[in-house]
Amino acid sequence: MLAFIRGRLLSGLLTIFGVVVLVFFLARLTGSPIDLFFPEGATQAQLESFSRAHGLDRPLLEQFWVFLSNAARGDFGMSIWQQRPALQAALSEMPATLMLTFLAMTVSVIIAVVLGTIAAAFRFRLVDRIITILTLATGSIPHFWFALVSILVFAIILRLVPTSGAGNWQSWILPVATVSLGPIGILTQVTRGAMIEVLSSGFVRNARARGFGSTRILYRHALRNAALPIIAVAGDIAAGMVNGAIIVSVVFAFPGIGKAIIGAVLARDFPVLQACIVVVGIAVVLLNLIIDLIYVVVDPRVRLS
C-alpha cells in the first residue's frame, strides 16, 4: 500500500517535471515580458535593470537551472507584474478552483447516478429514451454557447443571478451549471451502461430470487458494482476541471487557476505561469491517487501493485 502510494507520487512528480520543462521553454518562445512592460521609448538602462532583476539576462539554460534549484526549495520567484511571490499568486486562485470542481462534481455525480440508474432500470422504455436524449444533448451543447445564453436568460432578463464574479452564493450557480453540463451527460451514460450490465448479472438475479426489494437491489447490490467505471470517468473529468474551467473564468470573470493561467500567459508572467502549472500538476496527481484509493475501498478485487 505505502509502496504503491510512493510509486504513484514518484511517477506523478516525473510527469509534473516533464510538463514544467515544456512550459518553461515554450512560454519563452512567445517572447519577452519586456516587450509588453515598457513603452517604445524606454531607455536601455531601464530595460537592463528590469532584465537583471528578473534574471532574464542570463542564458536560457542557466535560467532554467536557477528556476529548478529554487523550485525544489519551494521558491518560484516573484511575479513580474504582481508585487508578490509567484507561488502565492497561484495558490490564492486554488480555493475557488477546488470549490468549483468539488461543487460541479458533486452535482453532476448525484444527478448522473440517479438519472443513469433510472434509465437502466427502465431500459428501452420511454423514461430511458427521454433521459438518453436529454443527456446526449447536455453532453454536446457547447459550453460557450450555454454560458452566454444562461447569462442572457438568468442574469440579464430574469435577474436571478449576477452576471459575473464570485461574490455571493448565487454567483456560483451559472458557473457550476456550465461546467457540470458535459459531465452530467457523460456520467449518466456511463452509469446507465454499467448498471445495465450489472443488472443482468447472476447475483442481481439471485438477489431478486431472495425476495429483496428493488431499492435494495438497485442501490446496494447493483450500484456498488457499477461504481468502478463511474469513478474512473468522474476522476478524469475532475482532473480536467482542475486544469481548466477556462470558459468559466473568461465568460463569468470567475476566479480560479484557469484565469490565473490565462492572465500569466497573456502577460508573459513566467514565474506565475510555472507556479500555476506545478500547483495544478500536484492537485491532479493527488486527485488521481485519491481515486485509486477509492477503488480499493469500493471493490475488494482491486489490488494495488
Partner 1 sequence: MSYLLEISDLNVTFETRFRTVPAVRNVSLAVGQGESVALVGASGSGKTVLGRSVLGLVDEPGVVRGSILFDGRQVVGRTEEELREIRGVGVAMVFQDALDGLNPVYSVGSQLSEVLTVRLGHSRAEAKERAIELMRQVGIREPESRFNNFPHQFSGGMRQRICIALAVGMRPKLLIADEPTTALDVTVQAGILRLIKTLQRETGMGLIFITHDLAVAREVSERMAVMYNGQIVEEGATEEIFSRPQHPYTRALLLAHPARAKSWRDLEPIPDEFVTDEPSSDNQTVSAPAPTASIG
**Cα distances (angstroms) measured from residue 100 to each of 52, 93, 104, 161, 240:** 39, 11, 6, 17, 12
Site for partner 1 in 174-203 (CB under 8 A): 201-203
* Smallest separation, CB 193 to partner 1 (Å): 18
Only one of the segments 17-25, 42-50, 134-142, 297-305 lies at the binding site for partner 1 (rule: CB under 8 A); that segment is 297-305
Q: Which is nearer to partner 1, 192 or 268 (CB)?
A: 192
* C-alpha atoms less than 13 angstroms from C-alpha of 12 in its C-beta half-sphere: 19
224 binds partner 1 (CB under 8 A): yes
Strand partners, 78: 85
Smallest separation, CB 225 to partner 1 (Å): 6
Position 61 contacts partner 1 (CB under 8 A):
no
255 and 164 Cβ atoms separated by less than 8 Å: no
Residue type (1 letter), 25 = F
Q: How far, in Å, are 115, 189, 233 from residue 136 at the CA level?
A: 12, 8, 16
State the Cα–Cα distance between residues 226 and 198, nearest whole angstrom.
7
Q: Which of 54, 221, 259, 268 binds partner 1 (CB under 8 A)?
A: 221
Nearest to 12 by CA among 223, 284, 295: 284
301 sits near partner 1 (criterion: CB under 8 A): yes
How far apart CA 116 and CA 126 sit, in angstroms, is: 14
Q: For cell 454499467, what's the residue?
A: 194
Size of the site for partner 1 (CB under 8 A): 21
Stretch that binds partner 1, among 32-40, 110-118, 214-222, 267-275 (CB under 8 A): 214-222
Contact between 69 and partner 1 by CB under 8 A: the answer reads no
CA 121 to chain centre: 31
The only residue of 9, 212, 229, 286 in contact with partner 1, by rule CB under 8 A: 212
84 or 129, CB closer to partner 1? 129
73 binds partner 1 (CB under 8 A): no
Residues 243-282 that bind partner 1 (CB under 8 A): none
- Which CB sits closer to partner 1, 46 or 214? 214
CA 140 to chain centre: 18
Smallest gap, in angstroms, from Cβ of residue 183 to partner 1?
24
Q: Which stretch binds partner 1 (CB under 8 A): 45-53, 88-96, 219-227, 245-253?
A: 219-227
- DSSP class of residue 78? B
**Residue in the block written with cell 469513478:** 231
Q: Which is nearer to partner 1, 165 or 213 (CB)?
A: 213
Q: What residues are paired with 89 via a beta bridge? A: none
Task: State yes or no: residue 305 binds partner 1 (CB under 8 A).
Answer: no
Residue 219 interacts with partner 1 (CB under 8 A): yes or no:
no
Contact flag: residue 210 with partner 1 (CB under 8 A): yes
- Least distance from C-beta 300 to partner 1, angstroms? 4
Contact 220, 298 (CB under 8 A): no
With cell 448479472, the residue in question is 201
For binding to partner 1 (CB under 8 A), which residues are involved? Answer: 201-203, 205-214, 216, 221, 224-225, 298-301
